[in-house]
Amino acid sequence: METTITTYALILALPLVAFVVQVFLGKRLPRGGDWLVIGAICIDLLLSLRVFFGALFFSSFAGTPFVWNLHGWLGDADTGVLALSTGIMVDNVTAMMLVVVTSCSTLIFLFSTGYMAGHPRYGLFFAYLSLFAFSMLLLVLGNNLIALFMGWELVGLSSYLLIGFLFEEPVVAPDIVPASACKKAFITNRIGDTGFLLGILTLFSFTGKIAYGDVFEAVRNGAFGDHATLLTVAGILLFCGAMAKSAQFPLHVWLPDAMAGPTPVSALIHAATMVAAGVYMVARLYPLFTPDALTFIAYTGAFTALFGATVALVMNDIKRVLAYSTISQLGYMVFGLGVGAYSAGLFHLMTHAFFKALLFLAAGSVIHAMHRAYHHAGLEWNPRSGENDAQDMRNMGGLRKAMPVTFVTTAVAVLAISGVPFTSGFLSKDMILGGAFAFGFVEYPQHFLIPVFGFAAAILTAFYMARFLIMTFLGATRVAERGQEALRESPWNMTVPLVLLAVLCGWFWYNPDPTTIFAKGWVSSFLTPPASAVPPTLVTPSADAHHVAHLTAMLVSLVCAGAGFFAAWMLDRRGAISLEHWRLSGSRVYQLLANKYYVDELYHTTVVAGMVGLSRILGWFDKVFIDGMVNATGRFQTGLSELSGLIDKFGVDGLVNGLARFVRDTGNEVRQIQTGRIQNYIVYATVGLIVLIVVTGM
């Protein structure tokens, strides 16, 4: 199954064309042009599936990835000065990412036709979605660091546009303002991107190449030479980009606020695909990371996994629970890659994309129904007191009867994310935890914290996801009575994506053997870690401990999931554990969690206040010194002009006027003589005559 550049060019071009057409003609097309965007992404999905199955069954990229180059993209190809070419590279990882991106996009676009129905900017919403799809595919398909960075920034842009899509609404959830949430996301990402760009430039300055393969080759041949530690620094700088994009602590703050976007956006961009870009980047540049950099990555990921899970425990907003859950799950992928479980990290990226997209879409379906119920009951949301909040799980409960499809599909996703057997999540999470177990307990006991964090997060994940399911769908309903009759299942275009995603949460697609004892599934052979390009001086030899750890890790993670579910059951049935009691008891820990560890407050008092203070000082400096200098120059000029004005007025003008005045005055005086009286003239003539005579006589 050979593929050609036509396939990939089509995959890239279709969403871009759909975006351009939508932006200019979206309003005039029937149905707001959603069919155009969905048609484009559907064709993309078919093409991607063809590429993927070609790779899976016919090994089309075995050993050699598909590469196509556009020479002379930048610089001068003739002289070779800074001549850079761009292009497309497709291997197994790309093929998997293509399918994940296009399948999630297709289902979520379809869901959006129901969720966004009737919105005044319906067409524009689809335009932005299409722009996102194009950017994400560019990010995935590019064969070099610059193309990766361009895709990276473009997904950031479409994320910004979509988070702020409801910009005219003052608040969409407690404390979330779309117009500032999108700025927060963009600026936080910019901080990470600075590191990312510095990393790219470090690599470029040492190797002079940008294409992945060339960079790896150059590094392998000793491009870093004596500065081997700089490679670690470059790796950590690159990872900074992933920290922002994949919401790793401490740059995670934008993701919970990104829930200000419409729910399909949260599902597609802020759960399934874009946030996985950081993980994809780490996987793509995997050969460059030195063991030190990987350890840093592993610790960041493990801490984030636990951090996100603890905050998710006490959140009550349905989307916030999922947002912190996403942060936690991204931490899983990142530390999976960090501990060397390369295929496990990418595998979890794929399974997480499906079940988290499903969870978000289900949440969207629930929010949709809740809005209808409140609208029907004539109740308005009060953002200040939090009353009648359609996103607050404390206002839900018992929705399973009204929304059976949403309930069942959500339950599947909850089982998957908690790592229960017979789900996709069990397979991927187990692989990651197995890797972590081998890394922290067997290979490097000094790094035991990484698996400990991982397993603790697994317990918490099972707990908060069960709590999410119970509070939303089970028990007695807490929806206002007048609104209950309006609660009903969402239309087909919203439930079909839910069902399809739920089907993808099953184990069968990934491994026919749900226990993974007898068969390892296609993933571990399909997504094999690339050979490291790091100079051998930096690498410590490691034993393949994964097999030893595998079964033990699986058992431990099962126990973890069980413990989490048990705790949630206690919470629900027995009241033995009550978050409400915990809250009312004024526990410091509860306060810490409910306030998300005060990270936002910390940033506000340090970074934001620092920036504001610095800006004030600069503003004062500007006002006093720069303005002072400018004003002084101005004043000097004014003075000089006044002086020259005076000279002009009294010197030059005085001379001219004086002359004129002299002539005029003289004329006036002389005129007196000419009286027109003949007698006077005669007198003058006579006097003159006498004078003449007297003078000549003398």
Residue placing its CB nearer to another protein in the complex, 602 or 689: 689
**Torsion of Cα atoms, 106 then 107 then 113 then 115, to 10°:** -140
Residue placing its CB nearer to another protein in the complex, 574 or 671: 671
Q: How far is the CB of 644 from another protein (least distance, A)?
A: 46
Q: Is 382 helix (H, G, I), strand (E, B) or coil?
A: strand
Q: How far is the CB of 676 from another protein (least distance, A)?
A: 6
* Residue 204: both structure tokens together: 């470029």
User: Judged by CB under 8 A, which of 663, 683, 691, 692 binds another protein?
Assistant: 683
Rounded to whole angstroms, what are the CA distances from 461 to 218, 231, 248, 475, 592? 42, 35, 17, 21, 18
CB contact at 8 A, 96 and 49:
no
Residue span 649-678 as binding mask against another protein, x where in contact by CB under 8 A, dash where not: ---------------------------xxx
Contacts to another protein from residues 472-511, by CB under 8 A: none
Q: How far is the CB of 662 from another protein (least distance, A)?
A: 25
The backbone torsions φ and ψ at residue 74, rounded to the nearest 5 degrees and listed phi first, read -125, 155
Q: Is 290 helix (H, G, I), strand (E, B) or coil?
A: coil
User: Judged by CB under 8 A, which of 630, 682, 691, 692 binds another protein?
Assistant: 682
The backbone torsions φ and ψ at residue 91, rounded to the nearest 5 degrees and listed phi first, read -130, -165
Q: How far is the CB of 686 from another protein (least distance, A)?
A: 5
User: Judged by CB under 8 A, which of 547, 679, 695, 697 binds another protein?
Assistant: 679
Contacts to another protein from residues 398-427, by CB under 8 A: none
DSSP single-letter state for residue 388? T
Residue placing its CB nearer to another protein in the complex, 598 or 681: 681
Q: Which stretch binds another protein (CB under 8 A): 6-14, 387-395, 437-445, 680-688?
A: 680-688
* Size of interface with another protein, in residues (CB under 8 A): 7
Residue placing its CB nearer to another protein in the complex, 541 or 676: 676
**545 contacts: CB under 8 Å, gap ≥ 6:** 438, 439, 442, 443
- Owner of token pair 């307990």: 441
- Owner of token pair 């919403």: 125
Residue placing its CB nearer to another protein in the complex, 588 or 677: 677
Q: How far is the CB of 641 from another protein (least distance, A)?
A: 49
Distance CA 597, CA 428 (A): 29
Q: How far is the CB of 664 from another protein (least distance, A)?
A: 20
CB contact at 8 A, 419 and 432:
no
Q: How far is the CB of 696 from another protein (least distance, A)?
A: 16
User: Judged by CB under 8 A, which of 9, 666, 686, 692 binds another protein?
Assistant: 686
Distance CA 239, CA 235 (A): 6
Contacts to another protein from residues 333-372, by CB under 8 A: none
Residue placing its CB nearer to another protein in the complex, 638 or 686: 686
Cis check: omega of the bond before 287, within 30 degrees of 0: no
Element (H, E) at 451: helix 449-473
**Torsion of Cα atoms, 676 then 682 then 684 then 688, to 10°:** 150
| 693 part of the interface to another protein, by CB under 8 A | no
Q: How far is the CB of 695 from another protein (least distance, A)?
A: 18
Query: Which candidate, 57, 68, 94, 75, places its Cα nearest to that of 6?
Result: 68
Rounded to the nearest angstrom, the gap between the alpha carbon of residue 548 and the centroid of all alpha carbons in its chain is 38
Q: How far is the CB of 692 from another protein (least distance, A)?
A: 15
Residue placing its CB nearer to another protein in the complex, 540 or 674: 674
Q: How far is the CB of 635 from another protein (least distance, A)?
A: 58
Q: How far is the CB of 678 from another protein (least distance, A)?
A: 7
Q: How far is the CB of 639 from another protein (least distance, A)?
A: 54
Residue placing its CB nearer to another protein in the complex, 626 or 689: 689
CB contact at 8 A, 238 and 199:
yes
**11 contacts: CB under 8 Å, gap ≥ 6:** 44, 47, 48, 98, 102, 137, 141
CB contact at 8 A, 232 and 293:
yes
DSSP assignment string, 179-219: HHHHHHHHHHHHHHHHHHHHHHHHHHHHH---BHHHHHHHH
DSSP assignment string, 60-104: TTSSS-EEEEEEEEES-TTT-TT-EEEEEEE-HHHHHHHHHHHHH
DSSP assignment string, 467-492: HHHHHHHSSS--S-HHHHTT--PPPH
* Residue 524: both structure tokens together: 């571990």
Q: Which stretch binds another protein (CB under 8 A): 38-46, 459-467, 523-531, 682-690?
A: 682-690
Distance CA 397, CA 480 (A): 11
Query: Which candidate, 58, 60, 61, places its Cα nearest to that of 530?
Result: 61
Residue span 138-157 as binding mask against another protein, x where in contact by CB under 8 A, dash where not: --------------------
Residue placing its CB nearer to another protein in the complex, 4 or 686: 686
Q: How far is the CB of 666 from another protein (least distance, A)?
A: 21
Q: Which stretch binds another protein (CB under 8 A): 52-60, 159-167, 234-242, 681-689?
A: 681-689
Residue placing its CB nearer to another protein in the complex, 587 or 686: 686
Residue placing its CB nearer to another protein in the complex, 655 or 693: 693
Residue placing its CB nearer to another protein in the complex, 574 or 677: 677
Q: How far is the CB of 677 from another protein (least distance, A)?
A: 7
Q: How far is the CB of 691 from another protein (least distance, A)?
A: 15
Contacts to another protein from residues 302-331, by CB under 8 A: none
Residue 120 CB-density burial (10 A; 0-12 exposed, 13-18 middle, 19+ buried): exposed
Residue placing its CB nearer to another protein in the complex, 652 or 690: 690
Q: How far is the CB of 684 from another protein (least distance, A)?
A: 10
Residue placing its CB nearer to another protein in the complex, 585 or 679: 679
Residue placing its CB nearer to another protein in the complex, 614 or 685: 685
Query: Which candidate, 80, 66, 88, 72, places its Cα nearest to that of 211?
Result: 88
Distance CA 173, CA 140 (A): 33
Residue placing its CB nearer to another protein in the complex, 595 or 680: 680
Q: How far is the CB of 685 from another protein (least distance, A)?
A: 9
Residue placing its CB nearer to another protein in the complex, 671 or 677: 677
CB contact at 8 A, 128 and 152:
no
Binding site for another protein (CB under 8 A): 676-679, 682-683, 686
